[in-house]
Amino acid sequence: MTVTAIANAVAVVTGAASGIGLATARLLHERGAHVVLADINQGGLMEAAQRLQQESSGQKQERGKVLTVVTDVTVEAQVEELMRQATALDGGHLDLVVTSAGIGRGGPIDSFTARDMEALLAINFMGTFHCVKAALPTMRRQGRGHFILLSSVAGKLPVPALSGYCASKWAVRGFAATLRAELYGSGIGITTVYPSWVDTPMVQQAEADSQLLNIQALLTPEQVAEEMIQAALHDQHDLTLAPDRDTALILQVMQQDPEKAEELMGRAFQQRLAQLQRTHQEPA
């Protein structure tokens, strides 16, 4: 048994100050869960908690508790403290952990710095690892629990100018698949989520920073949150959200013929570079 009901579950959500994390925390709280909001952004975290509490005031249906824990997911000791406080929130159980803390940085590999690569791996992958490692003892003891691990369609595709982001999200994918095998029969479930571009502050910043990416955000955080919760309740292993036709097609090609997918994405990227170069050369 993984997670069968949201009401009265204790759920930890990282990256809860904004985007997918905030939308997920709101949805869980609406449905009666005790939510533990974790984020490195203390101000944003307090605003998120106030928002949840305001939304619950005056409601006939009783909602769960709200706890905020300022957490840098790259620091193992802070994540351990987060899980300790979460486990103590409602009598010692921990039912759901959603790892949505993440950053996105792009650019050609020629100009991509080691510091950028290290930051992506530290937050997107090691942050996920720390959360799983810290929550596992409680879940093993109770014989149940569920992880929702945020990857990305970039965790299934070779996206030019996103080498670091892809590396971190492919790492989450491999980690999750191996965990499912290792935890088989334990009662602990894992849903790996692969959304296309979502309308979040991270994607808006990436779009502003790079003309190379040609981003179209067709998903909202609320849509992703709803799909994730349903996937966890059904113990779904893979949740891929690709509403745009081009992404859906290239995912299919990648599954059938990875070399062909790399060629198609590389060709499209070179065409994009040539288009941008022509645009810059045109007189004002």
Contacts made by residues 61-66, CB under 8 angstroms, sequence distance 24+: 61/32, 62/32, 63/29, 63/30, 63/32, 64/7, 64/8, 64/29, 64/32, 64/33, 64/34, 64/35, 64/90, 65/34, 65/35, 65/89, 65/90, 66/29, 66/34, 66/35, 66/37
List the alpha helices (DSSP H) in the chain. Answer: 19-30, 42-56, 76-88, 114-120, 127-142, 163-182, 201-209, 221-233, 245-256, 258-281
From the list 165, 170, 175, 194, the catalytic residue is 165
Collect all residues with Cβ–Cβ distance below 8 Å to 110 and sequence separation of at least 6. none
Query: CA–CA separation, 248 vs 153, rounded Å?
Result: 10
* Whether 165 is catalytic: yes
**What DSSP designation does 160 have?**
T
Residues involved in catalysis: 165
